[in-house]
Amino acid sequence: MRDRVLNLVTGPLHLCRGRAAGKTRGQALVMVGVMMMVLIGFAALVIDGGTAWYNRRLMQNAVDAAALAAAQNLPQTSGYWDASGYGVRWLANDYAVTRNGVTDMVVDSSPQPAAGSESCTANPNVDILICQTYGPSDTVRVTAHKT
């Protein structure tokens, strides 16, 4: 009788151990599948972030080149588009868009309202601004946009 009671108590334990051991056979496959999806998600995030960073660097290089080229010619020409086409704003636009342009980059080249007497802290609606920091027409500010 004692053996029978012992079998009733320990029998289900052996049965549970067998089932538990049998159910873990495919567990690694499920974990690998879940981790693979997480890894692919991180890879996509890294690629998108890297592309955004790369485009930002290209735009920064184009804007820096435009500002440096225009700043070299500040003492020689006026801030407006002159008749010969070699004004400071034209040169900045040429360096930003034509020579170093990035796909879908926008630089607003519309004429600015003042002739370099505007403060550089102002926020006009132009991307190439000839402004005044210490004296008239002594600073070039170039910005660009991309969607």
Look at 124 and 116; give whichever has higher pLDDT.
124
Average pLDDT over residues 118-129: 73
Q: Which amino acid is at 112?
A: Q
Considering only residues 25 and 141, tell me which one the structure prediction assigns the higher pLDDT: 141
Confidence class of residue 13 from pLDDT cuts 50, 70 and 90?
A: low
Instruction: Tell whether the model's pLDDT for residue 131 goes beyond 90.
Output: no
pLDDT of residue 117: 62
**Is pLDDT at 115 greater than 60 in this prediction?**
no
pLDDT digit string, tens, across residues 74-95 = 765 554 544 343 578 888 888 8
Quickly state the pLDDT bin for 97 (edges 50, 70, 90).
Answer: confident
- Domains of the chain: which residue ranges? 26-76+83-144
| 17 to 4, 21, 25, 38, 101: CA distances (angstroms) | 20, 6, 13, 32, 68
pLDDT at 17 (0 to 100): 60
Measured in whole angstroms, the distance separating CA 108 from the mean position of its chain's CA atoms is 21
